[in-house]
Amino acid sequence: MKKSAIPGLSKSRYLNGLQCPKYLWLATWRKELRNEFDETTEEILAQGHQVGDIAQELFPGGVEIPYEELSIDEQLQQTQNALKQSKVIYEASFEYNGVFVKADILRKVRGGWELYEVKSSSKLKDTYYDDLAVQYHVITNAGIKIIKAHLVHINTSYQRKGKLDPHQLFTIVDLTADALKMQPAVKKQIATMKKMLTGAEPIVQIGPHCEDPYECAFSEYCWQDVPDEGSVFDLAGNGADCFKLFHEGITKLKDIPLDRVKGKQRQQVEAAKKKQTIVNKEGLQEFMDSLWYPLCYLDFETFMEAVPSYDGQRPYQQMPFQFSLHIQKKPGGKIYHHEYLAPPAIDPRKEFLDELLKVLPDDGCIMVYYKPFEQSRLKELAELYPRKKKQIQHLIDNMVDLLDPFKARHLYSWKQQGSHSIKAVLPAFVKDLSYDDLEIGNGSAAMQAYHTMCTLVDSPKKLATLRKQLLAYCKQDTLAMVKLLMTIKTKSK
Give the pLDDT confidence of 267-299 residue by residue, as tens digits: 999 999 999 999 999 999 999 999 999 999 999
pLDDT at 46 over 90: no
Q: Which residues contact 386 (CB under 8 A, 6 or more apart)?
A: none
| Size of the chain, expressed as the number of residues it contains | 493
State residue 252's pLDDT score.
96
- Of 202-206, 350-354, 355-359, 457-461, the least confident: 457-461
Coil/strand/helix, residue 354: helix
- Of 7-21, 22-36, 38-52, 321-335, the least confident: 38-52
d(CA 95, CA 99): 5
**Residue 139: Cβ-neighbour burial (10 angstroms; 0-12, 13-18, 19+):** buried
d(CA 300, CA 297): 11
Residue 137 · residue 97 · CB < 8 Å: no
Arithmetic mean of pLDDT, 85-106 = 97
Arithmetic mean of pLDDT, 469-473 = 97
How much of the chain is in helix, strand and coil states, percent to nearest 5?
50, 15, 35
d(CA 231, CA 250): 9
**Which residues pair with residue 170 across a beta bridge?**
154
What does the pLDDT look like over 388-410, one tens digit per residue?
999 999 999 999 999 999 999 99
Q: Which of 123, 178, 104 lies closest to 148, judged by CA?
A: 178
H-helix or E-strand spanning residue 88? strand 88-96
d(CA 139, CA 131): 13
Q: Which of 355, 338, 339, 341 lies closest to 302, judged by CA?
A: 341
The secondary structure of 450-469 as a DSSP string is: HHHHTT-TT-HHHHHHHHHH
d(CA 136, CA 228): 43
Backbone angles phi, psi at 64, to 5 degrees: -100, 135
State residue 1's pLDDT score.
47
pLDDT at 2 over 60: no
Residue 441 · residue 473 · CB < 8 Å: yes
What does the pLDDT look like over 239-260, one tens digit per residue?
999 999 999 999 999 999 999 9
Whether this prediction's pTM lies above 0.85 is answered by yes
Q: What percent of the chain has pLDDT over 90?
A: 92
pLDDT at 6 over 90: no
**C-alpha angle 359/360/361, rounded to 5°?**
115
pLDDT at 28 over 90: yes
Quickly state the pLDDT bin for 7 (edges 50, 70, 90).
Answer: confident
- In Å, how far from its chain's centre is CA 83? 38
- Could you give the C-alpha distances from 7 to 10, 55, 135, 266, 457, in angstroms and in order? 9, 31, 18, 49, 44
State residue 39's pLDDT score.
62
State residue 38's pLDDT score.
67
Backbone angles phi, psi at 275, to 5 degrees: 50, 55
Coil/strand/helix, residue 93: strand
Backbone angles phi, psi at 464, to 5 degrees: -65, -40
What does the pLDDT look like over 110-166, one tens digit per residue?
999 999 999 999 999 999 999 999 999 999 999 999 999 999 999 999 999 999 999
Q: Which residues contact 449 (CB under 8 A, 6 or more apart)?
A: 440, 466, 469, 470
Which runs of consecutive H residues, i.e. helices, occur in 30-165? 39-55, 72-85, 126-141
**Which residues pair with residue 323 across a beta bridge?**
300, 340
Quickly state the pLDDT bin for 96 (edges 50, 70, 90).
Answer: very high
Residue 441 · residue 259 · CB < 8 Å: no
d(CA 189, CA 295): 61
What does the pLDDT look like over 230-242, one tens digit per residue?
999 999 999 999 9
State residue 258's pLDDT score.
96
Arithmetic mean of pLDDT, 79-105 = 97
The per-residue pLDDT of the chain, averaged, comes to: 95
Letter for the amino acid at 217?
Answer: A
Quickly state the pLDDT bin for 419 (edges 50, 70, 90).
Answer: very high
Q: Cis omega before residue 361 (within 30°)?
A: no
What letter does residue 345 receive in the DSSP assignment?
Answer: T
Quickly state the pLDDT bin for 3 (edges 50, 70, 90).
Answer: low
